[in-house]
Structure 1
């Protein structure tokens, strides 16, 4: 809300500078967002009277003016050449003297007036328009001043151009601050300066004329006040003081009747409407709209109504959108003779959101949807009546009686404040006397009962409902700047991360060091991805998807990574490695609703990666080699280290059969890895198959606490064996069998370093078709003691016997 400081000081004038006043309002909860003067800086411009005007001999559009500027011109008229169409003798206008500086132009530099010649005639100054002074956009002619403007007076002083314009940024609960009087009332409470409340005298009725009004919807309108006024002059000129105040509130002057309504709205916060009485057919009805009804608004827009918006209608049609905007059918015009003035209390809930349904907003709707004082509608009609008489009245103007219908007003509910509670919340000692003084200054009626104050909020305070609201009022009056800087008394406990958990950023950095780049994607994906890549036939659907291809919640990260891969490949990327850490969403009836979960939906964190292209990229040192299952498997093992994972072949709808595996830790599956299935590779138009993995994020972050081990006194013993096993026996089975072996010497580890398979069609030898030979290096630990060959041979024999019984393995001859 914008308003001039001078208008505010008419109601409350504390001994504060403009900056101090703005700081006081801001610290009181009414944030002053901007301060600027009515006009930008300029100098040397005075009030000039045009004495004579002559046509320029060499220019049809120029006139030679003789301008009296009083003592500022040494007592002699100035000769000024002017091209304004309204330059004429007998008017007073702003005159820039030689040496004056006008406001900066578009280039940001001030314009300095010098003696110049226009078509051979010397010009000793410049006559100015409102636009040249940067006080309005009108540049059609000179700014004409009132006839009583003192000649030679400084134009800044005469027009009060140093008046500050304050712009408030009000929160929605501060409806009582949407008027000059409302802000003055708050300023008086904050500073203790007296509040000037002008008396509004009731205007005596001169005729008994009434307009019948029926309020059919008390849940829409709680109070409706109106009055008939006959024989007004609609073409009366709005007084300059009113035009000036409205302009400085950001409101353009329209006609005198409309300006009066707007003026009272800015003055006291009560929107009103003035109807052309002769255009109303029959009585007025205040009701909810009906489906299919239409209304042409004052802004020229025609809207279609329904039963959720309030209207004022006559016997023929809808005339006004209740509390928001009037209709064009009954708008006042230059031919209006009789008017009906209306001011009402519309329930905020009945106005909220209505104008936004039609893609516009109004000052009236902005106020009504926050709450307008229901007790002042009659006073506001009286105020408008008096202004109409003063400005638009004629000798035959007739005033009808006030018609004030009170149906249902907001109930007055007491709110209690405990002084001890206020002190605890504010954080400083508070006395009952301080609370009483705060409520006195805020004009809040209260009763004191021991250490408790019972406040009855006035009708214009729609923001006082609970004890905390009153505590805030007390704190505002005491002053937020006076609150002590008290350090917190609660114990500070350092949140230490368990040593058994890896830092999540360290895990991300590890993936980045392996060549993967992190990507962030939407959790909303195409429904087809869920069917194809996760085998999920019942994905969680969105009720209001932001786009048709993003209609379900993902249960796997693979689709998002494939989409990112395709995006990069379409831009000629040849080597892509990406990873993502994010949530997936799966149906799970066992999940209950908490502060972090939703009933029936499991939302675990996952980390997934994708690798495509060459292993190391193109280089001179080694030939190009496409990334394969084992390259990515090594990355996964590095990510999980020092924990050792095992891999078991699985079938997965997204992955290549025979080239995919489940990832297990301590026998528990934590993820999957594998090449993309050929049919999806073809569908995504990929030149070759990428390798993907997806892991449980918590399993990645978990790690074993390091345990100290003594350095062995003797070197480990190494023995190589070659085992022949069936082709379908994986090395993981060998490892599992070795873990169960109990040789005399401790088995430190076993490493596979070679695989041999007979060529196709080859027969004979120690390795038959359908078999393979695994070369394994065993490392034995003597537990700190010297060992003999016999002990080593015994341990090897135990290992071989265990492998034979578990997997059918035999030594290769």
Structure 2
């Protein structure tokens, strides 16, 4: 919210500078995000009137103007503006004036000079040359009543400042200039100018019939008819200037008046073209299938959860948010209906976001607008309309249906002192509430406050405590060091932190990416096999409609983005949270009922694993490159890799990652179907693991250095083609009943091109090196032979293998 300093001082004028007011508001809870002057500094620019304007003798686009600046003699000024004509008053920079700096940052000085042979004794200025706006279409035309020779800064009130406030949602009562002035008066003790709303006497008895069918939507509805309004009347310059400094451009007089009162008192209102209303108005909830064309040109479809104002034929307005185009005022309008209502905040909250737009009216109504002053504010609007546009006011129609009940709130003074952290007395609390205009009563250390109609934020004891400390002043709070002992919380040794995981992956050649947690719905269906993802109620984009349960889609999107920009080698990883449905998850400080949110780490490798390399002829990263990176990531833990299937990965080139028999992730090559869909020249390899498994770390345990020399034996066994490495290792380790086996290493796989007497067509030879040792003594040949024989027998029994002859 922004507004000019001069408008604020019209209601409350403390003896403080603009910066001091900004500091006071910020320390009072109303954060001033920006304070800037209305115009940059410039000097010797006065009001001038063009008395004559003749064509330049030597230039087609220049005119020689005789300008009266109140000095008696006319100034001869050459001007090239297209609107330089006799009779208008414009800013005139005299000789010696300094205009705002240009692009070089240096002030622009006006000197006596000649343009195409004609002397120019000054310069007529546009709004852009004075840095008042970007409009450079011609001279800035001033009001006809401006005094000649008067400094333009004084004429346009350019020694003003604009405050920009960043208000929290509970400060709805400060969403107006008067609301901020009320807070400033409470904070500084300066007097507050109380506005008066004298009733406008009606001159006719016409009323519009209005029915409030939804009391849970509208609690109060007020309005009146004004006839014979001149909608072509020009908005006064003082109103245009104030609106512009609130960030609102002038539209028409009626629209400007409505906006003006909204910024002044926080009262959104709407002005209908009375002659376009069909019969009576009905304030109700929408009905499925009804459509409404809004003032912004958008056509929307309403339903039973959106409030509307309808007539006997169609929907005319979106309740509390925006009016409809069908009853919008225009230059042809002669009779208007002015409406101001109290809409329940719960009935307006989130409605405009359903249609992907927001309005100033909706912003205020969904936080709460004072329901007690609808009639008074219509009187104020009526008087402005009559003063600016003329017309004949009718009687006021005020329907009070159901107003919010303001329940008393109790506060314990002792509790306030404890929360604030400094002693406060009952008298201080009562004084704070008095300055804020909050009716309060005290009884033996307990203060009871009845919130006024405009304070929707006062509901519990802590709200009152906040009001007390705001008025007492945060700057007055004592600086007290913490009394509790501070002890360092050391991380457990059996876990590595997430940053160590990131550094390890970076050392393996991967680059970290950070992606949105909401993704496209078909990613979840195709890549995660998730037919029921968590839907977003209000996605920021159509392609970000669900929460991800896997990181693989995000990495593929990063890969596609880089390949489209001619990248040849991509190795990326992401460490992030995923979201899955789980009815067993309760609601707590860190969890949401029904949603499990584990952390995962995923990686993708594409292209040459070592970059440009003449000694390697492979087309790119393969399954074993990613498998090796996963082993390095999990080290010193040793993972098992078991053939598995995954919706995103190649059916025959995918493995589940097991730690201690528990699956912690998956690794494999992208499925050919998705490779074709994403238009990838080569298949990337991907892995995804639970972060908990990655951060687990076995604490090193001291082992004595072996005293006895180990023994190594190589064996070659013949097994069927379908026997894999994992089954072979399981059989070998299962044969070690005496604890002599230290390691088993597969170092050769042999399969001839044609069957031989020793090897059938469906068999292969596996060569394994066994390392045997004992901590008690050097192994004898008998012990070694017995251990090797046990291994061979186990392979024969479990796998049907035999020792190669």
Using the size of structure 2 for normalisation, the TM-score is 0.80
The answer as to whether partners of 2:749 and 2:764 remain within 8 angstroms in 1 is no
* TM alignment of 1:519-598, pairs within 5 A: 540-543=532-535
Query: What is the aligned partner in structure 1 of residue 36 from structure 2?
Result: 36
* 8 A Cα contact 1:347 1:368, kept in partner: yes
Q: Which moved more, 1:36-45 or 1:506-515?
A: 506-515
8 A Cα contact 1:617 1:624, kept in partner: no
Provide the secondary structure at the position in 2 that maps to 1:3: strand
- Aligned-pair distance for 1:407? 2.0
1:770 to 1:285, Cα distance in 2 relative to 1, 3 A? closer
Match of 2:709 in 1: 716
* Structure 2 counterpart SS, 1:34: strand
Secondary structure of 2:371's counterpart equals coil
1:127 aligns with 2:114: no
Q: 1:507 to 1:352 in 2, by over 3 A?
A: closer
Matches within 5 A, 1:731-810: 731-733=728-730, 735-737=732-734, 739-741=736-738, 749=743, 762-763=756-757, 772=765, 774=767, 776=769, 778-781=771-774, 783=776, 792-803=780-791, 805-807=793-795
Is the Cα–Cα contact under 8 Å of residues 6 and 163 in structure 1 kept in the other structure? Answer: yes
Residue 180 of structure 1 deviates from its aligned partner by 1.9
What SS is found at the alignment partner of 2:35? strand
Instruction: Tell me the SS of whatever aligns to 1:172.
Output: coil
Q: How many residues align?
A: 792
Among residues 474, 491, 495, which one is paired with 1:480 in the alignment? 474
3-state SS, counterpart of residue 447 of structure 1: strand
Q: Cα 1:432–1:638, aligned 2, differ >3 Å: closer, same or farther? A: same
The structure-2 alpha-carbon separation of the partners of 1:158 and 1:530, relative to structure 1 and needing over 3 Å to count, comes to closer
Could you say what secondary structure the match of 2:98 adopts? strand
Deviates more, 1:750-759 or 1:34-43: 750-759
CA contact (8 A) 1:417 1:467 kept: yes
SS at match of 1:740: coil
**Corresponding residue to 2:700 among 689, 695, 706:** 706
Alignment of 1:445-456 (within 5 A): 445-456=439-450
What secondary structure does 2:14 align onto? coil
C-alpha contact 1:238 1:391 (8 A) present in aligned 2: yes
- 1:250 and 1:773 map into 2 onto residues whose CA distance is 80
Q: Which moved more, 1:802-811 or 1:407-416?
A: 802-811
Distance 1:580 1:44, change over 3 A: closer
- Bigger shift: residues 445-454 or 491-500: 491-500
Which stretch shows the higher mean deviation, 682-691 or 407-416?
Answer: 682-691
Whether the 8 Å CA contact 2:524–2:533 is kept in 1: the answer is no
Looking at structure 2, the residues matched to 400 and 290 of structure 1 have their Cα atoms a distance apart, in angstroms, of 32
- For structure 1, the residue ranges without an aligned partner over 5 or more in a row are none
Per-residue deviation, residues 647-704 of structure 1 (Å, max 9, x unmatched): 7x75657899998877665566666777889999999999999877766654444343
CA distance in 2, matches of 1:258, 1:566: 50
- Cα distance in 2 for partners of 1:724, 1:260 equals 95
Question: Offset at 1:285?
Answer: 4.3
Task: Encode CA deviations 1:333-375: one digit per residue, 9 max, x unaligned.
Answer: 6666655443332333334444555555444343333322221
Give the stretch that moved more between structures: 108-117 or 446-455: 108-117
CA contact (8 A) 1:348 1:371 kept: yes
Structure exhibiting the larger radius of gyration computed from Cα positions: 1
Instruction: Spell out, residue by residue over 1:500-559, the C-alpha distance to the aligned partner (whole angstroms, 9 max, x if none).
Output: 33444445544554555666778889999999999x6x754454697789989657x778
**Partner Cα separation in structure 1 for residue 325 and residue 333 of structure 2:** 13
Counting only pairs closer than 5 Å after superposition, residues 420-499 of structure 1 correspond to structure 2 as 420-499=414-493
Residues 548-595 of structure 1: CA deviation (Å, up to 9, x unaligned): 89989657x778878878888898888776666667778878777766
Q: Deviations over 1:406-458 (max 9, x none)?
A: 22211111122222332333333332222211111100112223222221111
Asked if 2 retains the 8 angstrom alpha-carbon contact of 1:539 and 1:554, the reply is no
Q: Who is 1:16 aligned against?
A: 16
Return 170-179 or 627-636, whichever deviates more: 627-636
Query: Structure 2, unaligned stretches of length 5 or more?
Result: none
1:170 maps to 2:167: yes
Q: TM-score, normalised by structure 1?
A: 0.80
Aligned to 1:46: 46
| Range moving further from structure 2, 2-11 or 649-658 | 649-658
- What secondary structure, in the 3-state scheme, does the structure 1 residue paired with 2:773 have? strand
Provide the C-alpha distance between the structure 2 equivalents of 1:453 and 1:801, rounded to a whole number of angstroms.
91
Shift of 1:25: 1.4
Q: Structure 1 residues 9, 732: CA separation in 2 closer, same or farther (over 3 Å shift)? A: same
In structure 1, the residue matched to 2:77 is 80
- What is the CA deviation profile of residues 138-164 of structure 1, one whole-angstrom value per residue up to 9, with x for unaligned ones? 8455524444x4443322123321111
Counterpart contact for 1:227–1:401, Cα < 8 Å? yes
**Aligned counterparts of 1:571 and 1:42: Cα–Cα separation in 2:** 50
Paired residue secondary structure (1:345):
strand
